[in-house]
């Protein structure tokens, strides 16, 4: 079965072809980053219009790259939500119109399910069950994943998502939009320990997280530097040191919560997904993760156990069509007839 996947929930138009027997055949992506950069954030109306412009050429490019034609498509999967309403509608309309014209089914896909199944696109695939750490611009969640479609929310950020905190902090450090990845690169040049920021909710007994206070701590540090230097410009090394300290704080919280989720569930496989999954420090820290279960009453504490950690290939960390085509292929059983294409801008996965 050949599934065409369409992603248009925010500022990336992604189109891909996934063959249930042969795997991913092609994927095409257009990012609107440059278009939104001059406004310092995503402008929803511009995003929708650009998706409309890109969907047909990207689909044709994907078909050509895979050596396929429209007639070969067996089903069309699209991101139904969550995301920007207008942007979602562009993809939903295209997917439904194409499926209707071809007489094939449409498969509505939850954007976060796309992210959390994306590590299954790698050659080395995790086995169920696993804990998924979903860290994107809109979400920071820990999920217990027992099978395709069997998800339990274990905990999430009570305020800003991790990626959102990266972007907002980058903005207040004067980095161009979208600053998350840039901040992470500058953190490589920062001196560890030159600044220390709080680790919000690190020791809370649950799996909830909070990142908005961290951004305020950075703002306070920046203001202090400005007062001390008497200039609005932050010296380059100081800015890099702040980036380093910010990233270290976020990564420490994410790693500790992931560890707790593994202990709580008893699972020993962790899957990291979403844009922040591209972060080098997160990959470094989680790459060597182990968990040590507590001692049973009166007994000795058992030794630490190694955790198997899976990251999606970098190109599938941020929004893309491949993860939607793949999730669609996994859901072929629960297809919906073409037509009636509601979108779900707000849609919890579990």
Residues that bind ligand KG4 in the complex, under the rule CB under 6 A: 10, 136-138, 163-164, 166-167, 178, 180-181, 184, 274-276, 278-279, 318-319
Query: Between the CA atoms of 145, 151, 153 and 156, what dihedral angle is there, to the nearest 10 degrees?
Result: 70
- Cα 316 from Cα 329, distance rounded (Å): 16
Identify what 213 binds: Zn ion, ligand KG4, none; CB under 5 to 8 Å per kind. Answer: none
Identify what 167 binds: ligand KG4, Zn ion, none; CB under 5 to 8 Å per kind. Answer: ligand KG4
Shortest Å distance, C-beta 83 to ligand KG4: 8
Identify what 279 binds: ligand KG4, Zn ion, none; CB under 5 to 8 Å per kind. Answer: ligand KG4
| 135 labeled binding residue | yes
CB 299 within 8 A of CB 91: no
The C-alpha angle with vertex 165 and arms to 162 and 170, in degrees rounded to 5, equals 130
| 279 labeled binding residue | yes
CB 262 within 8 A of CB 307: yes
Q: Give the strand pairing for 130-135 and 140-147.
A: antiparallel
Nearer to ligand KG4, 77 or 181 (CB): 181
Shortest Å distance, C-beta 22 to ligand KG4: 26
Shortest Å distance, C-beta 249 to ligand KG4: 13
Identify what 113 binds: ligand KG4, Zn ion, none; CB under 5 to 8 Å per kind. Answer: none
SS3 216: helix
Q: H or E stretch including 141?
A: strand 140-147
CA-based nearest residue to 235, from 224, 249, 247: 224
Q: Of 7, 11, 241, 319, which one interacts with Zn ion (CB under 5 A)?
A: 319
Nearer to ligand KG4, 19 or 164 (CB): 164
Identify what 8 binds: ligand KG4, Zn ion, none; CB under 5 to 8 Å per kind. Answer: none
Nearer to Zn ion, 117 or 221 (CB): 117
Q: Sign of the CA dihedral 234, 235, 238, 240?
A: positive
- Cα 143 from Cα 290, distance rounded (Å): 18
Based on the shown chain and the rule CB under 5 A, indicate whether residue 136 belongs to the binding site for Zn ion: yes
| 319 labeled binding residue | yes
- Cα 269 from Cα 306, distance rounded (Å): 9
Going by the annotation, the residues of the binding site are 111, 115, 134-138, 167, 180, 279, 319
Residues contributing to the annotated binding site for substrate: 134-138, 167, 180, 279
């Amino acid at each position: 079965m050949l599934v065409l996947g369409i992603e248009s929930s925010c500022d990336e138009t992604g189109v891909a072809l996934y063959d249930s027997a042969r795997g991913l055949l092609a994927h095409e992506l257009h990012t609107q980053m440059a278009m939104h950069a001059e406004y310092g954030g995503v402008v929803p109306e511009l995003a929708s219009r650009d998706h409309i412009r890109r969907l047909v050429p990207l689909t044709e490019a994907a078909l050509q790259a895979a050596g396929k034609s429209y007639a070969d498509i067996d089903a069309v999967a699209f991101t139904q939500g969550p995301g920007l309403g207008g942007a979602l509608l562009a993809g939903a309309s295209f997917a439904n119109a194409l499926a209707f014209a071809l007489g094939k089914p449409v498969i509505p896909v939850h954007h976060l399910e796309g992210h959390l199944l994306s590590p299954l696109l790698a050659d080395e695939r995790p086995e169920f069950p696993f804990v998924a750490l979903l860290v994107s611009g809109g979400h920071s969640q820990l999920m217990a994943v027992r099978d395709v479609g069997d998800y339990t929310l274990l905990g999430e950020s009570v305020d800003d998502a991790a990626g959102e905190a990266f972007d907002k902090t980058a903005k207040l450090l004067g980095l161009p939009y979208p600053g998350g990845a840039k901040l992470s690169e500058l953190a490589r040049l920062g001196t560890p320990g030159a600044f220390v920021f709080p680790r919000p909710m690190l020791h809370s007994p649950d799996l909830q997280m909070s990142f908005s206070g961290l951004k305020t701590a950075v703002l306070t540090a920046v203001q202090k530097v400005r007062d001390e230097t008497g200039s609005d410009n932050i010296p380059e090394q100081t800015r890099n040191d702040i980036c380093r300290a910010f990233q270290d704080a976020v990564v420490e919280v994410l790693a500790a919560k992931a560890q707790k989720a593994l202990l709580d569930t008893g699972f020993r496989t962790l899957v990291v997904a979403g844009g922040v999954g591209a972060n080098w420090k997160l990959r470094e820290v989680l790459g060597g993760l182990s968990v040590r279960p507590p001692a049973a009453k009166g007994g000795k504490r058992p030794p630490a156990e190694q955790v198997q950690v899976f990251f999606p290939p970098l190109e599938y960390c941020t929004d893309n069509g491949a993860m939607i085509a793949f999730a669609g292929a996994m859901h072929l059983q629960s297809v919906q007839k073409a037509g009636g294409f509601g979108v779900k801008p707000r849609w919890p996965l579990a």
